[in-house]
Amino acid sequence: MTHGSETQEPIEAVGDQFSVEALLDVRRRTRQAAWEIGNRVRSGMTEEEAKEIAASVLGEAGLRKGWHKILVRCGANTTKNFEEPSTPGVVLDDEDLFFVDIGPLFDGTEGDAGETFVLGSDPEMLKAKHDVQELWRLVRTKWRDDGSSGTQLYDYADATARSMGWVLNLDLTGHRLSDFPHDAHYDGVLSDVGFRPSSGMWVLEIQIRHPELEMGAFFEDLLLADDALQRFSYGPPI
């Protein structure tokens, strides 16, 4: 564990211009944009075309600049890590899945959202979309109720994913979020954190893949206490 011995205060530091209200507003904007991207992507599109749609939606929402690249993964590319290049030319079928991962900036505040979408009614794909969100909810509940550290959360996520029949990507395990750039305070991952992460400071990322089929699913959102989640929710309840 790289950062487990470090103290909480410097890792959760923020800049002088940081605002919780601004962070939660950008969360709302970012999640809304992710769902709009998902609604516009259709079968027959290449992954490259879907990425162009994502850029267009973000531009329309005033979220042109990002602190990380726009990522749209389709079909077999949904099993890849964040930094892995996609296999080019993948075309979405009528029965297919894809996920969106966007990290825009708005007035110097970071957003981050990841959602999986299913085209058609393939039961394994629908299960992947459902289970990645359910696994995220279970890990969040453990964080909320048990006071678990970041390391403990991902140990739990790994075991729970296996019990659900999935393989968890332990190279994608969450990070700080704040005024830009968050890595000026902490450039590590959530799974290395040896304390209970504070509400409104950390993105919990969950990526799973099928143990045999070339497909996966992704979901991420900010870890928030119940009161903040109720006040600033947008879309399906977590």
Global model pTM greater than 0.85: yes
Confidence of residue 63 (pLDDT cuts 50, 70, 90): confident
pLDDT digits (tens, 9 = 90+) for 183-200: 989 999 999 999 999 999
The DSSP line for 137-152 is HHHHHHHHHH---HHH
Q: Which CATH number goes with the domain that contains 193? A: 3.90.230.10
Residue with tokens 């928030």: 224
Rounded distance, CA 226 to CA 190, Å? 20
Measured distance CA(56)–CA(183) in Å, rounded: 27
Number of domains in the chain: 1
What's the domain range around 81?
Answer: 8-231
The tokens of 213 are what?
């089929």
Distances (CA, A) of 100 to 90, 147, 201, 221: 15, 30, 21, 12
The answer, yes or no, to whether residue 228 has pLDDT greater than 80, is no
Chain centroid, CA 162 distance in Å: 20
- Tens of pLDDT, residue by residue over 4-36, are 446 899 999 999 889 999 999 999 999 999 999
In a domain, 2, yes or no: no
Could you tell me the pLDDT band of residue 230, with boundaries at 50, 70 and 90?
low
Mean pLDDT of 86-102: 97
Give the integer Cα–Cα distance in Å for 204 and 190: 8
pLDDT bin (cut points 50, 70, 90) of residue 227 is confident
